[in-house]
Chains A and B, each alone.
Chain A
Amino acid sequence: MHISEGALSAPVLAAGAVLTVAGTAVGLRGLDAEKMPRVGVMAATFFVASLVHVPIGPSSEHLILNGLAGLVLGWAVFPALLVALFLQAVLFQFGGLTTLGVNTFTMAFPGLLCYLLFGRLVNRGPAVSAAAAFGTGALAVLLSGVLVAVALFLTGKAFTGAAATIVVAHVPVMVAEGVLCVLCVGFLKKVKPGMLPRMRTQEVSDDG
């Protein structure tokens, strides 16, 4: 889902960069030494996830895990994915430096949305929690696909064609990420429930 260099027009690149800077600024403001390790862990997980293939379906796409990162980090998903995507661009040549802003936004924003939508639900009963976790994993990938299509559309490509291609290619990834999210949330609830959003409103507002 990384957009390569040269695929987008300058205004789209600039808009992506501005949105990412804004998101990163908000994300960094809510961070402190206590929360920093989880940002590092999720950035590393996201960085490595791009190497994990889902070998089902027409084209083999890789995991993204932006839903899981969003769920755990909230707004801090922006700085985490920015660093991870920068390293993927430099070390793997996935995406590119000029498209870093757009790529960060297309992946971090759906993560943030899933956090806002499902964040509270994952702490309910097992059935609701599992459904919310699956929704987080799957929806984040779907929304990322749509945002990539929007970015291409704003550059002048046909929206429906691009969107259909990208979304269809990522259906296996959506299912895989949904299942993985259910497993991770189940695991976190047992081992480290503090990593899941619970009293997050309090956490975000209490310091700067």
Chain B
Amino acid sequence: MTGRRGLLSIAPVLVAVAAALAPSVAGAHRLNVFAYLEGSEVKVEAYFSDGAKAKRSDLKVYDADDTLLIKNKTDARGEFAFGLPATEGDLLIVVTAGEEHVGKYTLKAEEFEGVAGVEYPGIAEAEGESGGEAPGDIGKALARIEATLRTMQRQLAELRKPRAGVSLESVMAGIGFIVGLTGVAMFFMARHATRK
């Protein structure tokens, strides 16, 4: 029974040592892969859960039939961009860093449907129909709209990007789970002991 008091004193110390050494709650052990559409280009970002980029890591893109479309490496910022391939269905993007870390992202078909191969025929038609009546303005306006849309796509992508790091809630949940499990185990062990 002397053990119990000693343990109660050691428990917070051990956890405190671990916590004190953690100025930033982060770990390098989840590889996040995120992809979004910008114009007709797919941009891929790969980063670890502590925010470090997955630099020069193997990247593969598969279509819905598991056919390998692209095999390449991320750049020094852990990014990669490719033109939207002419396929239907979801695109699966797989990044492998340091062999044991694999991250995946599925770019849903509905996100890029109708974007691939669009040549903006609207501009040419508008220019032809308007008969030289300020065609440049329409072209400029369209360019401006497109630029705005790109910015919005980027901002939306930023919002949807999985956050790097680990939330305090999940840390507390894990510790609580372990404490509870220990209690349950002790309850059954103690009952077993008293029955004997």
Q: Determine if B130 is an interface residue (Cβ-Cβ < 8 Å).
A: no
Asked whether, in the complex, the Cβ of A192 is within 8 Å of the Cβ of B26, the reply is no
Partner of A60, one of B10, B31, B50: B50
Asked whether, in the complex, the Cβ of A92 is within 8 Å of the Cβ of B7, the reply is no
Asked whether, in the complex, the Cβ of A44 is within 8 Å of the Cβ of B173, the reply is no
Asked whether, in the complex, the Cβ of B29 is within 8 Å of the Cβ of A49, the reply is no
Q: Determine if B134 is an interface residue (Cβ-Cβ < 8 Å).
A: no
Interface residues of A (CB under 8 A from B): 1-7, 31-34, 36-41, 43-45, 47-53, 59-63, 65, 83-84, 87-88, 91-95, 148, 152, 157, 161-162, 165-166, 169, 180, 183-184, 187-188, 191-192, 194-195
B14-39 CB contact bits vs A (8 Å, 1 = yes)? 11011101101111111100000000
Q: Determine if B154 is an interface residue (Cβ-Cβ < 8 Å).
A: no
Shortest Cβ distance from residue A9 to the other chain B in the assembled complex, whole angstroms: 13
Asked whether, in the complex, the Cβ of B26 is within 8 Å of the Cβ of A2, the reply is no
- A33-B193, A62-B27, A152-B100 as given contacts; A44 in contact with B3, CB under 8 Å: no
Give the A-B contact count at a CB cut-off of 8 A: 163
B79-123 CB contact bits vs A (8 Å, 1 = yes)? 000000000000000001011111110000000000000000000
Bound-complex Cα distance A152 to B96 (A): 13
Asked whether, in the complex, the Cβ of B99 is within 8 Å of the Cβ of A162, the reply is yes
Interface residues on B, range: 35 or more
Which of the listed residues B2, B22, B177, B178 has the most CB atoms from chain A within 10 Å of its own CB? Answer: B178
B12 nearest in chain A by CB position: A41
A4 nearest in chain B by CB position: B102
Asked whether, in the complex, the Cβ of B6 is within 8 Å of the Cβ of A6, the reply is no
Partner of A53, one of B10, B26, B102: B26
Asked whether, in the complex, the Cβ of A47 is within 8 Å of the Cβ of B166, the reply is no
Bound-complex Cα distance A92 to B50 (A): 12
B42-101 contacts to A, CB under 8 A, are 49-50, 52, 96, 98-101
Asked whether, in the complex, the Cβ of A191 is within 8 Å of the Cβ of B9, the reply is yes
Asked whether, in the complex, the Cβ of A51 is within 8 Å of the Cβ of B22, the reply is yes
Which of the listed residues A6, A92, A194, A195 has the most CB atoms from chain B within 10 Å of its own CB? Answer: A92
